[in-house]
Amino acid sequence: MQLSVTESELAGLETSRFWRRNRNQIKEKKDWNAALWALLFLGPNLILFLIFTAYPVGYGLYISLYNYSILKPKEWVGLENYDTFIHDPKTPDLIWRSIYYAVGTTIPVVVLPLIVAVLLSNAGVATRPLRMIYILPIVTSPVAAAAVWKWLYAKDFGLINYGLSLVGVSPVDWLYSLRWSMPAVILMSIWLLIPFNIILYTAGLQEVPGDLYDAAAVDGASSFQQFRSVTVPMITPTIFFVFLITMINVLVGAFDVINVLTQGGPLQSTNVLIYDIYKNAFENFRMGYASAQAYALFLAVLIITLINWVLQKRWVHYS
């Protein structure tokens, strides 16, 4: 049996092949156009990221392997800078001060904004003027804010000592006291970081269903019991996020406050790791050693973050 193909069938077959080929070409052209548009919008950001983030990070790792100073040619030393940092007699005190500052700042900055956010959410419209006030530290330069706090801490004419004198307390030399300089820096850092976390907690509280509070009230739960059994479990993802970003901000963002208030003094009592990195790099011109310190700090932050990421599975509820 012989099969014959008419001219019309051949023409239909060719037409089908033509449209299939054109459809694939059109699809490829659309995909290419989409890629070009994506590159057009993402390209500038990618270039800036490569120049101002990726390159400095890579170059910092590179010079950490050298005895490098802007005053003389660099010399390859391998891991010597890291070994020097680990075995430096000053390193334990430096790490202890960094932990003291981080813990003393992070805990209040995580806990207090939650309490304030709950109070503001329950107070309603009456707190709107107050919300305009507590957002002030966010829009204020940390350097300018630290300058104002330095004036507040002044021994002879500062407002803090003036308030203490009204209740019979002798003036305290806050920024030049081995005992009080670090608490003074911590207090200013708490004031600076709290408002942003209040905003985050307020946003998280908006996602808590009101029916849960109604059910708890029907069961006779007090306000504190509702906070403990409803509010906190429902916003644990927000609490976890606030804790992580606060910890990172505290460890790597203390420079401005310390540089204006104490410059690491008195007698290194407020010299934390991030400020010591600055001093070694731009005062002592030990760029390689400062880069090794920076990567040690990065590694510490990474390890702490990973540990918290693993532990959050036990107490953070995403549903």
In the chain, where are the structural domains located? 7-63, 80-314
**pLDDT given for residue 3 in this prediction:** 46
Burial class for 69, CB neighbours closer than 10 Å (0-12, 13-18, 19+) = middle
**pLDDT given for residue 218 in this prediction:** 86
Asked if 182 contacts 97 with a C-beta cutoff of 8 angstroms, the reply is yes
The residues near 241 (Cβ < 8 Å, ≥ 6 apart) are 200
Asked if 105 contacts 163 with a C-beta cutoff of 8 angstroms, the reply is no
Asked if 66 contacts 237 with a C-beta cutoff of 8 angstroms, the reply is no
Burial class for 134, CB neighbours closer than 10 Å (0-12, 13-18, 19+) = middle
Query: For residue 72, what are the β-bridge partners?
Result: 69
Integer Rg of the chain from CA? 29
Asked if 192 contacts 142 with a C-beta cutoff of 8 angstroms, the reply is yes
* Residue 23 in tokens: 């459809």
User: What is the CATH T-level fold of the domain 80-314, as seen in this structure?
Assistant: MetI-like fold (1.10.3720)
This prediction's pTM: 0.83
Residues in the chain predicted with pLDDT less than 70, given as ranges, are 1-32, 124-131, 319
Alpha-helix runs per DSSP H in the chain? 7-49, 55-63, 80-87, 91-123, 128-134, 136-139, 142-152, 159-166, 181-205, 210-218, 223-226, 232-234, 236-252, 255-261, 273-282, 287-311
**pLDDT given for residue 27 in this prediction:** 56
DSSP 8-state assignment for residue 90: T
**pLDDT given for residue 316 in this prediction:** 85
Say how far apart CA 22 and CA 24 lie, in whole Å.
5
Count of residues for the chain? 319
